[in-house]
Amino acid sequence: MARRDRLTVNDVHGAWAIIPTPAVDNAEDWRCEDSIDYDEVARAVNGLIEGGVDAVLAQGTFGEGATITWEEKKKMMEVMVETARGRKPIFVGVTTLNTRDTIKQLKHARDIGADGTMLGLPMWQVCDVPNAVRFYRDVAEAVPEMAICVYANPEAFKFQFPTPFWAGVAEIPQVITCKYIHIGQLSVHTAVTKKRIRFLPIEFDHLDAARIDPEFHTAFWSPCANGGPEMTVRIRDTVRDAIKTGDWSAAQRVWAAAAPVIGHLMPPGGFAEFSRYNIQLDKARINASGWMKAGPCRPPYLTAPANYLEGAVKAGKGWAELCAKVRAGEL
Question: Where in the sequence is the domain holding 142, given as residue range(s)?
Answer: 9-245
The predicted pLDDT at position 45 comes to 98
Residue 39 lies in a domain: yes
Q: In the beta sheet, which residues pair with residue 90?
A: 56
The predicted pLDDT at position 5 comes to 87
Please tell me the pTM assigned to this model: 0.96
Residue type, 60: G
pLDDT tens-digit series, residues 21-53: 999 999 999 999 999 999 999 999 999 999 999
pLDDT tens-digit series, residues 173-208: 999 999 998 899 999 999 999 999 999 999 999 999
Residue 323 lies in a domain: no
Query: Would you please indicate which residues are annotated as catalytic (active-site) residues?
Result: 179
- What's the number of domains the chain is made of? 1
Quick check: 85 pLDDT over 70?
Answer: yes
Quick check: 304 pLDDT over 90?
Answer: yes
Residue 37 lies in a domain: yes
Residue 3 lies in a domain: no
The predicted pLDDT at position 4 comes to 66
Residue 97 lies in a domain: yes
What span, in angstroms and rounded, lies between the C-alpha atoms of 25 and 107? Answer: 31
| Of the candidates 102, 184, 182, 190, the residue with the CA atom closest to the CA atom of residue 146 | 102
What span, in angstroms and rounded, lies between the C-alpha atoms of 232 and 222? Answer: 7
Q: Residue 217's domain is classified under what CATH number?
A: 3.20.20.70
What span, in angstroms and rounded, lies between the C-alpha atoms of 150 and 168? Answer: 12
Average pLDDT, the chain: 96
What span, in angstroms and rounded, lies between the C-alpha atoms of 105 and 84? Answer: 20
Quick check: 1 pLDDT over 90?
Answer: no
Quick check: 2 pLDDT over 80?
Answer: no
